[in-house]
Chain A
Amino acid sequence: MAAPPSPQQVTPPSASTSQPPPQQAAPPSTTAGRPVIVLDAAHGGTDTGARGETGIVEKDMVLQIARTVRAELERQGYRVVMSRNDDSNPSYDERAAMANAYRDAIFISLHIGSTGNPGTVRAFYDQLATPVAPTPVAAAANVKSPAPTASGLPQWEQAQQPYVEASHRVADLIQAQLAQSFSGSPATATPAAVRGLRSVAAPGVAIEISSVSVPSADSLTAAATPLATAIARGIAASRAAGSTGAN
Chain B
Amino acid sequence: MPRNLKLALGLLAVAVLIGLISLREMHRRIARLGEMQASEERARHEVLAPPISTPTDVTVKARIFWAAGPDQLAPAEINLPLSADPVQRSRQLVRALLALPPTPAQRTMPADAVLLGFYILPDGTAVADFSDALAAETPSGIVSEQLTVNSLARTLESNVPALRRLKILIHGQEVETLAGNVDLSGFFDLHPPVQSPGTNATPSAPSTPGAGAAASPSGTPPVAALAPAKPPH
Contact = CB atoms under 8 A, between A and B. Distances in A.
A193 B186 contact: yes
Contacts of B230: 130
Nearest to B138: A114
A85 to B, nearest CB: 20
Interface in A102-132: 111-117, 122, 124, 127-132
Contacts, number: 149
B70 interface: yes
Interface stretch (B58-66, B95-103, B170-178): B170-178
Contact of A127 (B125, B209, B212): B212
Given A115-B71, A127-B212, A192 B146 contact: yes
B132 interface: no
A211 B227 CA distance: 25
B211 A122 contact: yes
A192 B70 contact: no
Interface residues of A, number: 47
A63 B127 CA distance: 37
B139 A127 contact: no
Nearest to B225: A191
B188 A193 contact: yes
Interface residues of B, number: 44
Contact of A50 (B140, B186, B187): B140
Contacts of A124: 142, 211-212
Contact of B174 (A49, A142, A196): A142
Interface stretch (A4-12, A71-79, A133-141): A133-141
Contact of B167 (A112, A117, A132, A206): A132
A129 B186 contact: yes
Nearest to A124: B142
Interface in B113-131: 119, 121, 125, 127, 129
Contacts of B181: 42, 111, 194-196, 206
Contacts of A192: 142, 146, 182, 211-212
B141 A115 contact: yes
A193 to B, nearest CB: 4
A233 to B, nearest CB: 22
Given A127-B227, A129-B228, A114 B186 contact: no
**Most chain A Cβ neighbours within 10 Å, of B71, B144, B188, B232:** B71
B143 A191 contact: no
A186 B142 contact: no
Interface in A16-45: 42-43
B226 A142 contact: no
Given A130-B229, A193-B183, 4 more contacts: A115-B139, A116-B141, A117-B70, A127-B228
Interface of B: 69-71, 119, 121, 125, 127, 129, 139-144, 146-147, 149, 167, 169, 172-174, 176-177, 180-188, 209, 211-212, 224, 226-232
30 contacts: A43-B180, A49-B141, A50-B141, A58-B140, A112-B141, A114-B143, A115-B70, A115-B141, A115-B147, A116-B143, A128-B228, A129-B183, A129-B185, A130-B187, A142-B172, A190-B146, A190-B209, A191-B226, A193-B182, A193-B183, A193-B184, A193-B186, A193-B226, A193-B228, A194-B181, A194-B183, A195-B177, A195-B182, A195-B183, A211-B141
Which are the 5 A-B pairs with shortest beta-carbon distances? A129-B186, A113-B141, A114-B139, A190-B212, A193-B183
